Copies of this chain bind each other. A is one copy, B any other.
Amino acid sequence: MSKIIVQKYGGSSLHDTKAILSVANRISDSHNAGVSIVAVVSAMGSTTDELTNLASQLTNNPDRRELDLLLSTGELVSCTLTTMALQAIGKPSKSLSGWQAGIYTDSRYGKAQIKDIDVSPIMNELQVGNIVIIAGFQGIDDGSDITTLGRGGSDTTAVAIAAALKADKCEIYTDVEGIYSADPRLVPNAKKLSHISYEEMLEMASYGAKMHPRSIELAMTYNVPIYVASSFTENEGTLIHTDSFSKMQNIQEQRKRVTSIATTSGYTKFTLTKVPNRSGLASQIFQPLSEKDISVDEISMNAERGNTTDLTFTVDSEDQENTTAVLQDLKTKLNAGGVIISDNLAKVSIIGTGMREESGYAAIMFTTLANNGINIDLITTSEIRITCLIDQADLEAAAKSLHEAFELD
Q: A-side interface residues toward B, CB under 8 Å? A: 17, 20-21, 51, 54-55, 57-59, 62-63, 65-67, 69-70, 72-73, 76-77, 79-81, 83-85, 87-88, 94-95, 97, 100, 144-146
Contacts and interface: CB of A to CB of B under 8 A. Distances in A.
A54 B97 contact: no
A84 B72 contact: no
A286 B85 CA distance: 33
Nearest to A87: B63
Contact of A66 (B54, B63, B84): B84
B77 A95 contact: no
B59 A85 contact: yes
A217 B389 CA distance: 68
A206 B389 CA distance: 69
A66 B88 contact: no
Number of copies of this chain that the complex holds: 2
A88 B80 CA distance: 32
17 contacts: A17-B58, A21-B58, A51-B77, A55-B80, A55-B81, A55-B84, A58-B81, A59-B87, A66-B80, A66-B95, A67-B84, A69-B95, A70-B77, A70-B80, A72-B76, A73-B76, A73-B77
Contact of A58 (B51, B54, B88): B88
A20 B144 CA distance: 26
Binding site secondary structure of chain A = helix
A57 B95 contact: no
Contacts of A145: 100
A83 B54 CA distance: 13
A84 B69 contact: no
B58 A69 contact: no
A87 B100 contact: no
Contact of A76 (B69, B79, B94): B69
Contact of A67 (B63, B69, B70, B80): B80
A84 B100 contact: no
Nearest to A83: B66
A58 B144 contact: no
A103 to B, nearest CB: 13
Given A21-B58, A58-B88, A59-B84, 7 more contacts: A58-B81, A63-B84, A66-B83, A66-B87, A69-B80, A69-B97, A70-B81
Contact of A81 (B54, B79, B83, B100): B54
A366 B81 CA distance: 50
A85 B81 CA distance: 30
Nearest to A140: B100
A17 B77 contact: no
Given A58-B88, A69-B95, A97-B69, A63 B77 contact: no
A45 to B, nearest CB: 12
Contacts of A57: 17
A99 to B, nearest CB: 8
Contacts of A84: 55, 58-59, 62-63, 66-67, 70
A108 to B, nearest CB: 18
Nearest to A24: B58
